[in-house]
Structure 1
């Protein structure tokens, strides 16, 4: 996942922590871990093959790290371009924290994950970072999303960020 901990001259932005929002209700059973007891087979072959391709893996990780860094740069530029809008929303409500929703896509390109920027939204403001649950309700975070239907290799992702003044 890209690093969304970004700071500018006026703001500090970080991902939302688990304890800051209301937890959704549980869906039911957890994952099935019976695959751990399967006999040796293709998994071990793939593991041995991966050891032989270590140089290619290092190159792939470097390319992915550069691509993830591009998302952080995009977020920092968006915050700098919209500092006036964010400051105005904070002053209007006399709040000190704001919430952003970052929409991005994850696509596969020859085995590498590519992070593609989509859009950023200012969802609202809150008096403090401890009270962002008023903006990030479970309907906002886990409710239906109106998106275009991507191809099978692309997945749309959402990140919720909390920001405050420096």
Structure 2
């Protein structure tokens, strides 16, 4: 996940922590992961990945890191552009924290992950960051989403962030 912990002259924004939102009711027991403890065989991941060249891997990491960083720059520019709107929403209710939803897409381009910006939404404000669960409800965060259907190589992602005034 891209680094969405950014700050501007007025705000600091970070990803929401698990203890700040209402937990989701689980369905019970998950899948059996005992296959991870089995001994290595001839078709294991390490032997397949050893074929790749070191220069290509370093280039891929650098280009992916630069592309991933572009989402942080995009978020910072959005915060600066919507500074007055966020301050007004917080001032109307006397709150000191706000919630933001960042929509982005992750695509595959010649073996490299490409992060593409989609949209950012101000979801609401809360009295403090500890009470952000009133805005970021489980229905909002984990409920169904209406979206375009991308191709098989592109995946839509959502990040929920908590912002506070400096």
The reply to whether TM is greater than 0.5 is: yes
* Unaligned residue ranges in structure 1 (runs of 5+): none
Quote the RMSD (CA, aligned, Å): 1.2
- 1:122 corresponds in structure 2 to 122
Q: State the Cα distance separating 1:54 from its structure 2 match.
A: 1.6
1:6-155 aligned within 5 A: 6-36=6-36, 37=38, 40-43=41-44, 44-50=46-52, 53-155=53-155
Q: 2: distance between equivalents of 1:107 and 1:31?
A: 27
Report the Cα offset of residue 26 of structure 1: 1.1
Is residue 160 of structure 1 aligned with residue 160 of structure 2? Answer: yes
Assess, with a 3 A threshold, how the Cα gap between structure 1 residues 11 and 39 changes in structure 2: closer, same or farther.
closer
CA distance in 2, matches of 1:136, 1:59: 38
Q: Which runs of 5+ in 2 are unaligned?
A: none
Query: How many angstroms does 1:39 deviate by?
Result: 5.1
Higher mean alpha-carbon deviation, 153-162 vs 35-44, is at: 35-44
2: distance between equivalents of 1:82 and 1:72?
A: 15
Whole-angstrom CA distance in 2 between matches of 1:20 and 1:93:
20
- Secondary structure of the corresponding residue to residue 46 of structure 1: helix
Cα deviation digits, residues 19-76 of structure 1 (max 9, x gap): 10011011333233243326512214214324xx122111100000000110000000
- Cα deviation for residue 129 of structure 1 reads 0.3
Q: Please give the alpha-carbon distance, in whole angstroms, between the structure 2 residues aligned to 1:86 and 1:151.
A: 34
Q: Deviations over 1:90-120 (max 9, x none)?
A: 0000000000000000000011111100000
Structure 1: how far apart are the matches of 2:130 and 2:27? 26
Cα separation, partners in 2 of 1:112 and 1:162, compared to 1, 3 Å? same
Q: Write the distance in 1 (CA, Å) between the matches of 2:153 and 2:27.
A: 26
Change (3 A) 1:66 1:39: closer
* TM-score normalised by structure 1 residue count: 0.94
Structure 2 distance, partners of 1:158, 1:136, is: 13
TM-score by length of 2: 0.94
